[in-house]
Amino acid sequence: MNIRAYKPLIPMIAVYGVLITIALTVDGMWQPVAYFMFYIALGQAFNIFLGLTGYVDFGYVAFMGLGAYGMGLAIKNFGHLGLIALPIGIFLAVIMSMLLSLAVGAVALRLRGAYFAIATIGVNEGFRYLVEGVRLWGGTEGMILSGFMRKTYGREMTNFFSTFLSDVLVILIAFSAAVVTIAILNKKMGYALLALREDEDAAKVMGINVTKYKIMAFITSAGFAGLIGATAWTLKLTYIFPEDVFNISYTVEAIVIVMLGGAGTLLGPMFGGLIYGIMKYYLSVIFPGIQLLILAPILIAIVVVFPEGLIGYIRKKARDTRLSEYLR
């Protein structure tokens, strides 16, 4: 393993360090930072698929939703065993989202471009109507776990889960997704994905099994989405409603974050998520109600000025300088 190829993690660790320090030392900053970290994690996880393959999955939130249900089912069914329910929930979340992505990917990843995007919208909506229609996992009434959790784990422990542990786990998930991203970028897989993103037919002729690599990226990305759903939603909010967890707006936010920071880069999702999270949070404080009206033109302006995303742009400027070793 080439340690030097992992240098771009240094600026990332620095930013995380600053954020965590602010969260722990400044009064009332823990929740805002956790809010930003959610968007960073979302961008970092989605980037593994969207950024590295260039395919747009409009049904991405389905994996988060499934992860949320995985954790919910674990707490409901294994809560009586104690804290072991949490690792079981994490495990279930990953397995369920990965299995769905394998099934979807094996079929839909044979489609290209817009056809793939449309097929994946169908998956998300279909899954939501399945849950609601056949009254799976509580149907439209969802899963409300707060009462059960308070009874099983006690009020304080439940509060600890939703105001601290879930946030810490989201930070860990975001960082793990970043480590996985740079590991992929440094391996053959990264080069295979780069080639297929640029010219899929030429990549095939060059000996690259494009379907295999696309599915690998898809499953990895979906697994992280499941983890985010399990922690940032179920553990933090202690309830799950299908119309919330299968809400396409999260997919759109994830796309915006990845494009903003730079698709296919390591650091892009972190800066994209941070910018997006900060703007959304403070605009809603300053201009409550019309925050999205102000946010949208700002986002459009950024994407117009930096079509390759912020990190994509900086990387280009820093090419052939020593800084480029730290940018990826």
Partner 1 sequence: MVLLKLEKVTKKFGGIVAVDSVDLQVEQGEALGIVGPNGSGKTTLYNLISGVYTPDEGRIIFDGKDITGMPPHARTPLGLARTFQIPRPFGSATVRENVAIGAMFGRASMDVEEALREADEHLKLIGIYNLRNKEAKLLTPLEKRFMELARALAMKPKILLLDEVMAGMHPSDIEKIIETLQKIRKEEHVAVVSMVEHLMHAITKFAERVVVMHQGRKLIEGETARVLNDPRVIEVYLGKRVV
**Closest CB 311 distance from partner 1, rounded Å:** 13
**Closest CB 313 distance from partner 1, rounded Å:** 13
Query: Which CB, 148 or 191, lies closer to partner 1?
Result: 191
Residues in the chain: 328
Query: Which CB, 146 or 209, lies closer to partner 1?
Result: 209
**Closest CB 199 distance from partner 1, rounded Å:** 5
Could you give the maximum distance between any two Cα atoms of the chain, in Å? 60
Residue 121: phi, psi to the nearest 5? -60, -45
Question: Under the rule (CB under 8 A), what is the footprint of partner 1?
Answer: 2, 186-188, 191-192, 194-195, 198-199, 201-210, 319-320
**Long-range Cβ contact pairs of 168-172 (< 8 A, separation 24 or more):** 169/227, 169/231, 169/235, 170/34, 170/37, 170/38, 170/41, 170/228, 170/231, 170/232, 171/16, 171/20, 171/37, 171/41
| Contact call for residues 196 and 213 (beta carbons, < 8 A) | yes
**Closest CB 245 distance from partner 1, rounded Å:** 35
Of 59, 37, 52, 38, nearest to 252 by C-alpha is 59
| Residue 28 to residue 19: CA distance in whole angstroms | 13
Query: Which CB, 27 or 201, lies closer to partner 1?
Result: 201
| Contact call for residues 313 and 306 (beta carbons, < 8 A) | yes
**Closest CB 106 distance from partner 1, rounded Å:** 16
Query: Which CB, 187 or 317, lies closer to partner 1?
Result: 187
Is 187 strand, coil or helix?
A: coil
**Closest CB 318 distance from partner 1, rounded Å:** 13
Query: Which CB, 76 or 328, lies closer to partner 1?
Result: 328
Of 224, 315, 314, nearest to 40 by C-alpha is 224
* Alpha helix segments (H runs only) across 187-308: 188-198, 200-205, 210-228, 236-237, 242-245, 248-261, 268-286, 291-305
Query: Which CB, 27 or 320, lies closer to partner 1?
Result: 320
**Closest CB 315 distance from partner 1, rounded Å:** 11
Query: Which CB, 25 or 321, lies closer to partner 1?
Result: 321
| Residue 95 to residue 130: CA distance in whole angstroms | 19
**Closest CB 241 distance from partner 1, rounded Å:** 41
Q: Which residues are paired to 240 by β-bridges?
A: 143
Query: Which CB, 110 or 135, lies closer to partner 1?
Result: 110
| Contact call for residues 158 and 149 (beta carbons, < 8 A) | yes
